[in-house]
Amino acid sequence: MLRECQEHGYFRGGACPVCNEEGKFLMSDREVDQVGRTMAGVLRHFPERFDLKMDVRGWVDVRDFINALTERQPRYHWLRLHHIVALVQTDPKGRYQISNGRMRATYGHSFEVELDLPTDNIPEKLYYPATEEEAGILLENGIKPADRRMVHLSRSASDAFNAGRVRTEKPVILEISTPEMADRDIEVQRAGKTVFITKEVPADLVRRMADEEFEHIVEENTAGDAE
């Protein structure tokens, strides 16, 4: 549920996490999910389906998006600018930006886009999940984009493990050395709260996480699976 606290701004859930007040209702969980899925699709994959003009850096006009959505799906006739601002500001993964009446996705694009995201405060290690079959290939050839235009790396091994579980029950975790990437002028950008993007990772900067470390990550992230 999406709500607004008069004192502390937008939040998701039944009560403001700061003052515990109920706040003003904005959107139901179902509406958050459906509008959010449409936003992700439009901003990452098909702006042309909504006749939206997107610039080279991935920005579209927010009001144009709202008008296009409400025209195609009249049940969202109530949707206003503050609803989109609230969705963006409370997105748990930080997948979007909104500024000066425009918005964009910060990662996950299936088409070419020239993102100008921050390149400072990059952790010394980032992580990438792979299947057992993929791991050997990536260790030998490096990591290159697959179904997306950029390689997506995770802030922590746990983040990578959970991202990888979408594809395989027990993903292999690969570690990437970012200082060495910087030494070779390979840019890494901060794209979300836990996601970083780059064009590719050379093979000699990738290593498989040690078995002992990996088993700790597995145990930490699967402890509640059998409950």
All structural domains of the chain: 2-105 (1.10.10.970), 125-222 (3.20.170.30)
Angle ∠(118,186,157) on CA atoms, nearest 5: 70
| Stated pTM of the model | 0.85
Residue 19's Cβ-count burial label (10 Å; 0-12, 13-18, 19+) is: exposed
Q: What is the CA radius of gyration of the chain?
A: 20
The 3-state secondary structure of the chain reads: CEEEECCCEEEECCCCCCCCCCCEEEECHHHHHHHHHHHHHHHHCCHHHHCCCCCCCCCEEHHHHHHHHHHHCHHHCCCCHHHHHHHHHHCCCCCEEEECCEEEECCCCCCCCCCCCCCCCCCCEEEEEECHHHHHHHHHHCECCCCCCCEEEECCHHHHHHHHCCCCCCCEEEEEEHHHHHHCCCCCEECCCCEEEECCECHHHEEECCHHHHHHHHHHHHCCCCC
pLDDT, residue 159, reads: 93
Other Cβ atoms less than 10 A from the Cβ of 65: the count is 21
Q: What residues have CB less than 8 Å from 102, skipping those under 6 apart? A: 59, 60, 61, 62
pLDDT, residue 30, reads: 96
pLDDT, residue 94, reads: 92
What is the rounded CA–CA span in Å between residue 146 and residue 159?
Answer: 19
pLDDT, residue 67, reads: 97
What is the rounded CA–CA span in Å between residue 34 and residue 28?
Answer: 10
Residue where the block lists tokens 């570690």: 175
What is the rounded CA–CA span in Å between residue 33 and residue 13?
Answer: 13
Low-confidence ranges of the chain (pLDDT < 70): 223-227
